[in-house]
Amino acid sequence: MSNLVPITVAEGDGIGPEIMAATMKILEAAGARIAPEYVTIGEKKFLSGFNNGIGDETWESIARTQVFLKAPITTPQGGGYKSVNVTLRKSLGLFANVRPVKTYQPYVGSKHKEIDMVIVRENEEDLYSGVEYRQTRDTCHSVKLLSRSGSELIIRYAFEYARAHGRKKVTCLIKDNIMKISDGLFHKVFKLIAADYPEIEADSIIVDIGMALVADRPEEFDVLVTLNLYGDIVSDIASQIAGSVGLAGSFNMGQKCAMFEAVHGSAPDIAGQGIANPSGLLNSAILMLHHIGQSDIAAKVENAWLCALEDGAHTGDIAKDKSKALSTSEFADAVIERFGKEPQELTLVETSEKGFVMPTHDLRTISKRHKELVGVDVYLDWRGQDAEEIGGKVESSSTDAMKFSAMSSRGVKVYPGKCETELVSDLWRCRFRATGGCVKNSDVNALLGQIEKAGLEWVKVENLYTFDDEDGFTVLQGE
């Protein structure tokens, strides 16, 4: 039986085919024990009618190999094309986006001396679920969706990654001073899981100052774990300040499969010229070799690549003397020529297999606490500016089971009592509380009927629950 590991390979668009050819040439010369299955995704598929840029043969190949090495894809502007990356991430359940960020001083320019951090970004939840609404003329909203099980999975993954790679610290970026329920959940889960890894320092920072520190003192960070949106932003900040956007590899990890790709895009401005730097894709392929248990080959390739950087064998994007810049294929040869050599100044990569425990979705941890419906927030579309006028109508809609408690505009109380904000929005949140402790959905229906009868238009309803005695909703400011 062959000991070659099958992998799915997509050459991508723009510079994709050039950098993939260079990468595969290096892997083959290094003796990587892989059997590539080539598939076509991206522009060609979009143009032949697949609006997500991916054909059946690609799904079948990934299902078979469970390992996907992917060059960048061009997403055509307009025309209702879906992002290939978002489709792949969601369809394959790639819950973690992992991006190592490093400096290679003095060979690649950066203001910072020694950055060596790994960003672990949650990849499936948060504001990226794409659930958005416009229900009044003036306002719209996006749904920030977070689950306890999803948070546990990504946080445990970050700690397992840190343990397997001998990392010392995991830092969690959150904004739970404002988003107390959603980011608060992520933070709480972080603290609980950190206790299982006493040898690793666990640290939490509010995301705004956290990002400022990443930009200012990146040397102090080791592993970072965070939500989808913050992770997206901090990954770009970190790659940019390291000066290595063109060199950085990354991977997306799921329970069943993993996808490896460069951080940069398809660079259509230099496509076809044979001058692109293949290092980002090569570094992704190195991560892939570790994943499939070929750390020996990964170290051989990475050390040769570091030697090439030290020797000034550079492509045009990082070459100090542009007249000596190598082409894409010359750079691949320069790496191959250095197999077996060790870098002198950059850190030597050791050939050690990493023992990694892959966490799984543990649905047993979903809370078994007692849940009760204790009220409802009804959102109205109303274009008047007199809080007393609408407040009076809403108040009189109360039923025996549900009594009006307060009304707010953009999160601030406007009725009853003193109006504490400028009334510029057409979306009004009206809170009703259960008079007898808890209510049923039918009580909410009756209330909505009363509101309609009062001549008001409701556009959205949010149920208010308690879990044991803990509120599953925030207190209305000034309530």
Task: Write out the residues near ligand NAI by the rule CB under 6 A.
Answer: 15, 19, 72-75, 85, 246, 261, 264-270, 276-277, 280, 317
Query: Which stretch of DSSP H or E encloses residue 228?
Result: helix 228-242
Identity of the residue, 103 or 252, whose beta carbon is nearer to ligand NAI in the bound complex: 252
Compute the least distance from the CB of residue 195 to ligand NAI, in Å: 36
**From CA 168, how far away is CA 201, in angstroms rounded?**
6
Distance CA 444, CA 402 (A): 8
Rounded Cα gap, residues 464 and 472, in angstroms: 7
- Taking the complex as a whole, the smallest distance from the CB of residue 181 to ligand NAI amounts, in Å, to 32
Give least dist CB 262 to ligand NAI, A: 7
Q: For ligand NAI, which is the closer residue by CB, 75 or 408?
A: 75
Q: Which of 297, 290, 248 is nearest to 102 (CA)?
A: 248
Q: Which is nearer to ligand NAI, 276 or 299 (CB)?
A: 276
Contact predicate 253/270, CB 8 Å = no
Helix orientation angle between 16-30 and 295-310, rounded to the nearest 10 degrees? 120
| Closer to ligand NAI by Cβ: residue 19 or 419 | 19
Closest contact distance (angstroms) between CB of 83 and ligand NAI is 8
What is the pairing mode between strands 470-471 and 458-467? antiparallel
Task: Output the smallest distance, CB 75 to ligand NAI, in A.
Answer: 4
Q: Are 123 and 95 in contact (CB under 8 A)?
A: yes
In the complex, minimum distance from the CB of residue 128 to ligand NAI, in angstroms, rounded to a whole number: 15
Give the residue with the Cβ less far from ligand NAI, 84 or 173.
84
Closer Cβ to ligand NAI, 79 or 198, answer by number:
79
Which stretches of 362-423 are assigned E, i.e. beta strand? Answer: 371-381, 402-409, 412-415
Query: Structure tokens of 253?
Result: 């990890």
CB of 15 to ligand NAI, least distance (A): 6
Dump strand ranges (E) for 71-213.
Answer: 94-102, 116-122, 132-134, 140-142, 169-174, 201-206
Q: Which is nearer to ligand NAI, 217 or 320 (CB)?
A: 320
Closest separation between CB of residue 87 and ligand NAI, Å? 11
Q: Which is nearer to ligand NAI, 73 or 207 (CB)?
A: 73
Element (H, E) at 135: none
**Cβ nearer to ligand NAI, comparing 271 with 454:** 271
Strands 169-174 and 223-226: parallel
Q: Alpha-carbon distance 53 to 463, whole Å?
A: 39
Shortest distance in whole angstroms from residue 323 CB to ligand NAI: 17
13 vs 183 by CB, closer to ligand NAI: 13
In angstroms and rounded to an integer, the radius of gyration of the C-alpha atoms of the chain is: 27
Token reading at 321: 């003397």
- Tell me which residue has its CB nearest to ligand NAI: 265
Tokens 């009006």 sit at which residue?
A: 404
* Adjacency order of strands within the sheet including 412-415: 412-415, 402-409, 427-434, 371-381, 458-467, 470-471
CB of 281 to ligand NAI, least distance (A): 8
Residue 364 tokens, joined = 């047993």
First to last CA, the chain: 70
